[in-house]
Structure 1
Amino acid sequence: MADWLEVTEGEAPLIVAFPHTGTEIDPQIEARLASPWLARKDADWRIEQLYDFAGDLGATTIRTRISRTVIDVNRDPSGASLYPGQAVTELCPTTTFDGEPLYRPGAEPDATEIAERRTRWFAPYYTALEAQIRRLRARHPAVVLYDAHAIRSRIPRLFEGELPHFNIGTNSGASCAAELAGAVFEACDAEGFSRILDGRFKGGWTTRRYGQPADGVHAVQMELACRAYLDEPESPLSDDAWPAPWDGARAEPCRTVLRRVLASCLQFAEGEA
Structure 2
Amino acid sequence: MDWVSGESEPFEVREPEVQSVPLVFSSPHSGRAYPSEFLESSRLDALSIRRSEDHFVDELFADATEFGAPFLVAHFPRAYLDVNREPYELDPRMFDGALPSYANIGSMRVAGGLGTIPRIVAENMEIYRHRISVETALWRIEGIYKPFHATLRRLIARTHARFGLAVLIDCHSMPGNIRLSGSDLRPDFIIGDRYGTSASAELSRAAVHFLEEMGFTAVRNKPYAGGFITEHYGRPVRGLHALQIEVNRALYVDEATLEKRPEFDIIAAALSAFMRQMIDFAEDYRRETALAAE
Q: Which category describes the TM-score, using the shorter chain as reference length?
A: 0.7 to 0.9
The Cα of 1:195 is off from its aligned counterpart by 1.1
TM-score with structure 2 setting the length? 0.79
Distance 1:182 1:83 in 2: 29
Percent of pairs identical after alignment? 24
Match of 1:120 among 136, 143, 148: 143
CA contact (8 A) 1:46 1:246 kept: no
Q: Unaligned 5+ residue runs, structure 1?
A: none
SS at match of 2:48: helix
CA contact (8 A) 2:23 2:169 kept: yes
Distance verdict in 2 for CA 1:134–1:85, change over 3 Å: closer
Structure with the higher helix share, 1 or 2: 2
Q: Which entry has the higher C-alpha Rg, 1 or 2?
A: 2
The Cα of 1:59 is off from its aligned counterpart by 1.1
Distance verdict in 2 for CA 1:181–1:88, change over 3 Å: farther
Q: Which residue matches 2:204?
A: 181
The Cα of 1:78 is off from its aligned counterpart by 3.0
Q: Which residue matches 2:165?
A: 142
Q: Which residue matches 1:25?
A: 34
The Cα of 1:210 is off from its aligned counterpart by 0.4
Q: Which residue matches 1:267?
A: 280
Distance 1:121 1:87 in 2: 23
Distance 2:47 2:124 in 1: 14
Deviations 1:173-221, CA, capped at 9 Å, x for gaps: 1001111011101011146521110111101111110011122111000
SS at match of 1:254: helix
Q: Which residue matches 1:103?
A: 128
1:62-211 aligned within 5 A: 62-79=72-89, 87=112, 89-104=114-129, 107-154=130-177, 163-190=186-213, 192-211=215-234
Over the aligned positions, Cα root-mean-square deviation in angstroms equals 2.7
Deviations 1:86-135, CA, capped at 9 Å, x for gaps: 9562211111120011111xx23354432221011101111111111121
Distance 2:194 2:159 in 1: 23
CA contact (8 A) 1:4 1:66 kept: yes
Deviations 1:146-186, CA, capped at 9 Å, x for gaps: 00111221269xx9966411011000010011110111010
Distance 2:247 2:34 in 1: 24
SS at match of 1:148: strand
Query: Which residue identity is paired with 2:27?
Result: F
Distance 2:235 2:107 in 1: 17
Q: Which residue matches 2:51?
A: 41
CA contact (8 A) 1:172 1:202 kept: yes
Q: Which residue matches 1:15?
A: 24
Query: Which residue identity is paired with 1:138?
Result: A
Match of 2:259 among 220, 244, 253: 244
CA contact (8 A) 1:88 1:97 kept: no
CA contact (8 A) 2:29 2:74 kept: yes
Distance 1:148 1:44 in 2: 9
Deviations 1:209-235, CA, capped at 9 Å, x for gaps: 0011122111000011112223x35xx
Moved more, 47-56 or 147-156: 147-156
The Cα of 1:269 is off from its aligned counterpart by 2.8
Distance 1:219 1:82 in 2: 23
